[in-house]
Amino acid sequence: MERLTTLRRRLREAEVRARNQDYSWADGLLEEAERAERRANERSFMLIRRRQKNNAWFSQVISENFFCLTRHEYMTGAEKALLIDLLSLLELGTNAIVHPDQNRFCTVTEIAELLKRKLRNTRELINKLIEKGIIYEFVDPSQIKEYGRVITERPLYVNPEIAYAGDRNKVNAVMARQVIQYDHIKRNKINLPWKLEYEPNAEYARLIHQKKRRK
């Protein structure tokens, strides 16, 4: 273990020197690293280079699906504008609308405040987007069972078939099952080019192009 630690340290030094044009010294160490890697592989071990992680939040619009909805005039201009604003609040890997400073789900009131919008208008637009299947709600079944209705603010998330904050091949399975089961867009006779696919007991769902699915 100590030898591996020393090797990693020397590799870092090699990279620094390589950037400073000291190629001959760096190449010798990199060759040493390759030999060490071969020896490790022979013993069923593997050396892995640590990569810097980029912690920037990002959300990607599923362009073909968004354009498909535009061609069908499925959303109004005001609904599209709110959706684009909401992309900056999506949690990586879940698509939940979260407060960027408090690391928790956003209420509609907080969404209006964060996006500098009027509360009444924001609430109306969100309700319309829920009806159209652009936004979904997480509902706690235990509340319905106990009280006959939902009594707390329901967490909201954006349909990952429209936009997703994360890897399109690793879509949150719980969220995906709800979208697949309650597919309002499909019920409105709009066939999006990219659809969620979830296999029973799989850890994740993924977005699949319909042409590839039919093959």
Q: Of the ranges 37-51, 65-79, 151-165, which is most confident?
A: 65-79
pTM of the model: 0.69
pLDDT at site 143: 40
Contact 22, 34 (CB under 8 A): no
Q: What pLDDT score does 159 carry?
A: 96
Position 69 scores a pLDDT of: 97
pLDDT at 81 (0 to 100)? 97
| pLDDT greater at residue 24 or residue 67 | 67
Give the model's confidence band at 146: pLDDT under 50 very low, under 70 low, under 90 confident, else very high: very low
> How many whole angstroms separate alpha carbon 57 and alpha carbon 198?
25
State mean pLDDT over 169-191. Answer: 93
What mean pLDDT comes out for the span 105-120? Answer: 95
Read off the pLDDT of residues 17-52 as tens digits, 9 standing for 90 and up: 555 554 455 556 566 666 766 666 666 655 555 545
pLDDT at 104: 87
What confidence score (pLDDT) does residue 144 get?
A: 40
Question: Is the four-CA dihedral 194, 69, 133, 111 of positive or negative sign?
Answer: positive
pLDDT at 150: 43
Q: Across the chain, what does the average pLDDT equal?
A: 80
| pLDDT, average across residues 173-177 | 88
pLDDT, tens digit, 9 for 90 and up, residues 80-89 = 999 999 999 9
- pLDDT value for 22: 47
